[in-house]
A and B are shown apart, each in its own frame.
Chain A
Amino acid sequence: MTSKRQEKIRNFCIIAHIDHGKSTLADRLIEATGTLTKREMEDQVLDTMELEKERGITIKSQAVRLVYSDSKGDEYILNLIDTPGHVDFNYEVSRSLAACEGAILVVDATQGIQAQTLANCYLALDHNLEIVPVINKIDLQSARPDEVKKEIEDIIGLDCSDAPLISAKVGIGIEEVLKAVIEKIPAPDGYIEGPLKALIFDSIYDPYKGVVCYVRIKDGTVKKGTRIKLMMTGKEYEVTEVGIFRPSFMEVNELKAGDVGYITASIKNVRDARVGDTITEAERMAKEPLPGYRPAVPMVYSGFYPADSSKYEELKEALEKLQLNDAALTFEPETSVALGFGFRCGFLGLLHMEIVQERLEREYNLDLVTTAPSVIYKIILTNGNVIELTNPTNMPSPTEIDYMQEPIVNASIICPNDFVGAVMELCQGRRGTFKNMEYLETTRVMLHYEMPLNEIIYDFFDALKSRTKGYASLDYEFSGYKKSELVKLDILLNGDIVDALSQIVPEERAYYRGRAIAEKLKEVIPRQQFEIPIQAAIGSKIIARETIKALRKDVLAKCYGGDISRKKKLLEKQKEGKKRMKQIGTVEVPQEAFMSVLKVEQ
């Protein structure tokens, strides 16, 4: 049932492959509806984090209310929800989609459908969203809108006969997009009187307001003073403010079924207002929560250590602060013989990990040593117990292990058919199992592989890009655990195991990887005052060895009056470089060494 008021509301998001123009279109819609003045406008206006703008990605969901008058003079409220585009944040995307009735599908007229176009589009179809295809970048010379329209019709099965042909960058066709949103996307329904049901599609921590829940009201009404209850946590709060996004927070009296807005209620931590949870009234609870909630589960773990061990407490505080705003981030204290005290952190994926790392370094000015990321292995012990292993160091001795399992993903890769051979070779080299291949059009194919997740986190995307001249796109989703022959590969420096360099690797490739890592470390670790053997070992068996020769010479031949200032600067630089190294036993290891073991060519 849709009320008169609801008839004039449209809730939608924009979905696209990275760089197809999602944020630029959002900018244009905001501009065209006069939501922000020219002076207030900036590029990627909805991406508020510095990191988002710099990388051209969206990490947090954002929302904005646009007011649009059509040619008849009818005024519509358009709630645009900007979603992250990366596979790491699929769950966040799915919750944002669940807050909408429709989605604009932006496809680049020069590139056509890409892996994330499909992944996001199928996700939207799963949520029964009405999809409005839009062909972007038609101003470019190499645009081929007709072919791309046909591609969308053939592959996704969407009618593209009246799909707007636009250029978000130049500002062509923006009015048509707005019209299509109103005509095609259904108005929301829901009972304004009914017990409150609000879907949290994102939550952020604001130092003044506490946690701000981004919500879509499915049923009921909420206003300041309402006693609410979060259905997953069971916790109750009193609403302190409700409002809408313009796109900054703007307080309103109430939010009703069909609206998108925010609620604050003195909630201290985003963990208590998790994405996907349902807010209801404490006195008049909804019978059941909105479907689809699941807690964010880390897929990738890495050890984060302060380069300067005296900064441990600072790192802890910084992680706590980031966690206020990032319910998917987990961390627990861990000790490494090599690196001292740090934290084992859990992430949704590699991008998520990189983002957290960068934010810690930039926003909290911390110098970090991070260990190679690891997936979660399941170890079935001979006594029948099952361990979930997130840190290779903790692997039990082989005699206690019955067998091991590793996480597997379904990967889809889209690339021009010239590169199929190269991609297949890469996937096979990464223990991929070929599933099938479809032609998207005569020159492009989509390959489906089943692959171990740990192969994907080892530099897979870069390898894929370099083998396909950047043309391939990748998407993957977790599919389950599979039995696998795995061993722990240890690295010894100067005869001692460096726990932070241990990795779980497939047995068949242990020898090769051991050698490659030893070679890589020889490159990365500078010569020191004594000879340093580097060894790779499985258990007590040494499988590779390299030697870093002793430093023979580090001397300034000349130093007279005119040289002192300059030579002192050189020495200071050298000292600075040394400071950035981690002392492991007697060996000084540069921070990048711990990650470099990931980047060995397979």
Chain B
Amino acid sequence: MINSLYVHIPFCKKKCLYCDFNSYVRLDIQDDYIKALLTEIKRINQSKFKTIFIGGGTPTILSISNLKKLLSELKKFNADEFTVETNPGTLDDQKARILKEYGVNRISIGLQAWQNNLLERLGRIHRVEDFLISYEMLKKIGFSNINIDLMFGIPNQTMSNWVQTIENVLKLNPSHVSCYSLIIEEGTLYYEMYEKNQLTLIDEDTERQMYYYAVESLNKKGIKRYEISNFSKEGYECSHNITYWMDEEYIGVGAGAHSYVQNKRFSNYKNIDRYIEGIYLRNAIEESEVIETYDEMSEFMFMGLRMTKGIEKERFLKRFNKDVYDVYGDKINILKQKNLIIDDGKNIMLTDKGIDISNQVFINFLK
């Protein structure tokens, strides 16, 4: 049985300047899209998932009727953890209650920053006030497991901006926080601006200070880092995302969604029209990659090391029938010497220094 199902909703009210996700401002075709998506979901031949994650885009931008259709189909899988992503300003009381009614038990909400000028700079559609309204509403309706997405390293963001953001978020006593360092991805508006020298990025030292500050202050409140960018109270880790980092199998449905099944990773058409057409022609796969054992080991390592607990040596041995030291011994020893990873006897994990330059660690585990 595959534990996790990802459902993609590729619509947004407006594209944020830094966003490279598969999302479009094309709400007019949501009916057709949901129809195709339901068709794809109905083809899944298993009846239970431990986790479901509806991501986007902005899933809560869907119309009430589409939202209901989708949720009622997904409810059948009886997920233990059922997450929906949302953005402030796209969620009203009615929609929030529908989520609750259909068994959604985890909400991930994008705040990003506590300063309206920074939110504007990011191209967000909401203000801090909108976030607070949504958050309080969710609490009131009875959602106890809420993640707040934050971003640091935003152009023009100061250290004190970031301190203010973290302090205010902590006052809300969230169970889960994600803190992402801004990446200028190719194909985004930010990338174009960056290429034209219209973006002043903050320097690496300040950026790292922001990260260290977040780690420390969240930790003080019992919100512990369990992955490079993810923090939660004990027991509130996102099981769905842990599936990815454990390099377990998953199914993805919707435009551009990736699946990883039986050593094959494949993804649907990113383009909405092609996706819909593909579903009816019974082939919506755009890209497909066979994961050979060596790649699988690489991915096991570089995904697993993202987690604070790192990779479990015993798990490696069971999965690949080989000791991790037989495969990567030289590399691991050098990295240990450089104080980038440690081996506590059971697990191998990144050090704090290793996290800062984790790509330099990960490349050692590639072919």
Q: Residue on B with the closest CB to A555?
A: B358
Chain A residues contacting B302 (CB-CB under 8 Å) are 568, 571
Question: Bound state CA distance, A557 and B267, in angstroms?
Answer: 22
Chain B residues contacting A297 (CB-CB under 8 Å) are none
**At the interface, yes or no: A49 with Cβ under 8 Å from chain B?**
no
Question: Bound state CA distance, A169 and B252, in angstroms?
Answer: 61
Chain B residues contacting A552 (CB-CB under 8 Å) are 204-205, 207-208, 356-357
Indicate which residue in B208, B267, B366 contacts A562 across the interface (CB closer than 8 Å). Answer: B267
Q: Residue on A with the closest CB to B295?
A: A568
Chain A residues contacting B287 (CB-CB under 8 Å) are 565
Interface 0/1 of B331-367, CB less than 8 Å to A? 0000000100000000000000001111110110011
Indicate which residue in A558, A564, A575 contacts B299 across the interface (CB closer than 8 Å). Answer: A564
**At the interface, yes or no: A559 with Cβ under 8 Å from chain B?**
yes
In whole Å, how far is A563's beta carbon from the nearest beta carbon of chain B? 8
In whole Å, how far is A558's beta carbon from the nearest beta carbon of chain B? 6
**At the interface, yes or no: B188 with Cβ under 8 Å from chain A?**
no
B180 touches A551 (CB 8 A): no
B360 touches A562 (CB 8 A): no
**At the interface, yes or no: A435 with Cβ under 8 Å from chain B?**
no
B244 touches A575 (CB 8 A): no
A560 touches B241 (CB 8 A): yes
B258 touches A562 (CB 8 A): yes
Q: How many residues of B contact A (CB 8 A)?
A: 42
Indicate which residue in A556, A558, A560 contacts B359 across the interface (CB closer than 8 Å). Answer: A556
Indicate which residue in B180, B338, B360 contacts A557 across the interface (CB closer than 8 Å). Answer: B180
Given A553-B207, A558-B183, CB of A578 within 8 Å of CB of B298: no
Q: Residue on B with the closest CB to A567?
A: B302
A553 touches B366 (CB 8 A): no
**At the interface, yes or no: A529 with Cβ under 8 Å from chain B?**
yes
A554 touches B181 (CB 8 A): no
Indicate which residue in B245, B252, B258, B355 contacts A565 across the interface (CB closer than 8 Å). Answer: B258
Chain B residues contacting A578 (CB-CB under 8 Å) are 363
In whole Å, how far is A548's beta carbon from the nearest beta carbon of chain B? 13
In whole Å, how far is A491's beta carbon from the nearest beta carbon of chain B? 25
**At the interface, yes or no: B256 with Cβ under 8 Å from chain A?**
yes
Indicate which residue in A551, A565, A571 contacts B363 across the interface (CB closer than 8 Å). Answer: A571
Given A552-B356, A553-B356, A575-B363, CB of A559 within 8 Å of CB of B252: no
**At the interface, yes or no: A574 with Cβ under 8 Å from chain B?**
yes
Within 8 A of A (CB), among B202-259: 204-205, 207-208, 228-229, 241, 243-245, 250, 252, 256-258
**At the interface, yes or no: B265 with Cβ under 8 Å from chain A?**
yes
**At the interface, yes or no: A361 with Cβ under 8 Å from chain B?**
no
**At the interface, yes or no: B306 with Cβ under 8 Å from chain A?**
yes
**At the interface, yes or no: B131 with Cβ under 8 Å from chain A?**
no
Indicate which residue in B208, B229, B265 contacts A564 across the interface (CB closer than 8 Å). Answer: B265
**At the interface, yes or no: B289 with Cβ under 8 Å from chain A?**
yes
Given A559-B306, A571-B302, CB of A565 within 8 Å of CB of B265: yes
B303 touches A564 (CB 8 A): yes
B256 touches A562 (CB 8 A): yes
**At the interface, yes or no: B269 with Cβ under 8 Å from chain A?**
no
In whole Å, how far is B179's beta carbon from the nearest beta carbon of chain A? 8
Q: Residue on B with the closest CB to A528?
A: B360
Q: Residue on B with the closest CB to A558?
A: B180
Within 8 A of B (CB), among A512-565: 529, 551-562, 564-565
**At the interface, yes or no: A601 with Cβ under 8 Å from chain B?**
no
**At the interface, yes or no: A572 with Cβ under 8 Å from chain B?**
yes
In whole Å, how far is B327's beta carbon from the nearest beta carbon of chain A? 16
Given A564-B258, A575-B363, A578-B363, CB of A554 within 8 Å of CB of B356: yes
Question: Bound state CA distance, A568 and B362, in angstroms?
Answer: 9
B355 touches A555 (CB 8 A): yes
In whole Å, how far is B155's beta carbon from the nearest beta carbon of chain A? 15
Q: Which of A551, A561, A564, A574 counts the most chain B CB atoms within 10 A? A: A561
B252 touches A557 (CB 8 A): no
Q: Residue on A with the closest CB to B21?
A: A562
Q: Residue on A with the closest CB to B206?
A: A552
**At the interface, yes or no: B260 with Cβ under 8 Å from chain A?**
yes
Question: Bound state CA distance, A515 and B359, in angstroms?
Answer: 33
**At the interface, yes or no: B6 with Cβ under 8 Å from chain A?**
yes
Given A562-B257, A565-B265, CB of A555 within 8 Å of CB of B363: no
Chain A residues contacting B356 (CB-CB under 8 Å) are 552-555
In whole Å, how far is B108's beta carbon from the nearest beta carbon of chain A? 12
Within 8 A of B (CB), among A554-597: 554-562, 564-565, 568, 571-572, 574-575, 578
Chain A residues contacting B257 (CB-CB under 8 Å) are 562
In whole Å, how far is B227's beta carbon from the nearest beta carbon of chain A? 9
In whole Å, how far is B19's beta carbon from the nearest beta carbon of chain A? 12
Question: Bound state CA distance, A572 and B306, in angstroms?
Answer: 17
In whole Å, how far is B207's beta carbon from the nearest beta carbon of chain A? 6
In whole Å, how far is B239's beta carbon from the nearest beta carbon of chain A? 13
In the complex, 19 of the A-B residue pairs with CB atoms within 8 angstroms, ordered by the A residue number, are A551-B360, A553-B207, A554-B360, A555-B228, A555-B358, A555-B359, A556-B228, A557-B181, A559-B244, A559-B303, A559-B306, A561-B258, A568-B295, A568-B298, A568-B366, A571-B302, A571-B362, A574-B363, A575-B366
Task: Supply 4 further A-B pairs (C-beta < 8 A) apart from A559-B306, A564-B244, A565-B258.
Answer: A554-B358, A555-B356, A557-B182, A565-B287
B→A interface (CB under 8 Å):
6, 180-183, 204-205, 207-208, 228-229, 241, 243-245, 250, 252, 256-258, 260, 265, 267, 287, 289, 295, 298-299, 302-303, 306, 338, 355-360, 362-363, 366-367
Closest 10 A/B residue pairs (Cβ): A552-B204, A575-B363, A557-B181, A557-B180, A562-B258, A554-B357, A554-B359, A561-B244, A555-B358, A553-B204
A→B interface (CB under 8 Å):
529, 551-562, 564-565, 568, 571-572, 574-575, 578
